[in-house]
């Protein structure tokens, strides 16, 4: 919805949407390692440190900028006449978004789902910092358990790495056409 507002809505202050767009662009440039300590403090103050929620909320927050910018690029490529025709036919804003815009954005939705799934599946810094309970360990965090202080189980690391890669490869192969169409949808203006 925020990308729809940035791409389509007219603000009183014309620079407001560009400022918001720039703010989100800056959000992509912030390294995840810079966020570790502040997010750790926030999680501990909220009492969710070491829980699934304490890991899910930072994942959502970190991906908001990228997701919004990808949606905005795609929405700017959709002709405005499509939405104008829906409004003339009697669509309100909610119906316009749910019946017209969201079905057209299907490739972008799939692309974002794939990128977020792969990122969260492979993410290590947040998981290693916020999770102390072995029962809540992520797949990438479990792979690091094959290394001890004085020994390394190379066969275990290789087997775990293969087990991490296989679901991602299958996921990618099945949805590959959506990835390519979703990434190129907002890239070229013709």
pLDDT digits (tens, 9 = 90+) for 92-125: 988 888 888 888 888 888 889 888 988 888 888 9
- Residue 190: which pLDDT band, with cuts at 50, 70 and 90? very low
DSSP 3-state of 149: coil
Question: Is it the case that residue 17 has pLDDT exceeding 90?
Answer: no
Question: Is it the case that residue 54 has pLDDT exceeding 90?
Answer: yes
Q: What is the pLDDT, as a whole number, of residue 48? A: 94
Helix pair 154-174, 176-184: axis angle to 10 deg: 70
Q: What is the pLDDT, as a whole number, of residue 67? A: 93
Q: How far apart are the first and last CA of the chain?
A: 25
DSSP 3-state of 147: strand
Judged by phi (left if over 0) then psi (alpha if -120 to 50, else beta), residue 153 lies in: beta
Average pLDDT, the chain: 86
pTM: 0.78
CA 114/CA 63 separation, integer angstroms: 12
63-98 confidence digits (pLDDT tens): 999 999 999 988 888 888 888 888 898 989 888 888
Question: Is it the case that residue 43 has pLDDT exceeding 70?
Answer: yes
């Amino acid at each position: 919805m925020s990308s729809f507002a940035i791409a389509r809505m007219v603000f009183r202050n014309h620079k407001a949407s560009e400022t918001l767009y720039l703010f989100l662009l800056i959000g992509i440039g912030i390294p995840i390692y810079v966020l570790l300590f502040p997010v750790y403090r926030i999680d501990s103050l909220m009492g969710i440190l070491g829980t699934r929620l304490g890991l899910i909320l930072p994942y959502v927050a970190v991906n908001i900028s990228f997701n919004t910018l990808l949606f905005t690029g795609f929405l700017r490529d959709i002709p405005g006449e499509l939405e104008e025709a829906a409004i003339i036919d009697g669509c309100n804003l909610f119906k316009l978004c749910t019946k017209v815009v969201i079905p057209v954005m299907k490739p972008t939705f799939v692309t974002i789902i794939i990128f977020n799934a792969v990122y969260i599946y492979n993410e290590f810094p947040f998981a290693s910092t916020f999770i102390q309970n072995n029962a809540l360990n992520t797949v990438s965090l479990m792979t690091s358990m094959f290394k001890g202080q004085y020994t390394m189980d190379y066969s275990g690391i290789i087997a775990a790495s293969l087990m991490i890669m296989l679901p991602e490869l299958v996921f990618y192969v099945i949805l590959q056409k959506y990835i390519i169409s979703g990434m190129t949808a907002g890239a070229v203006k013709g």
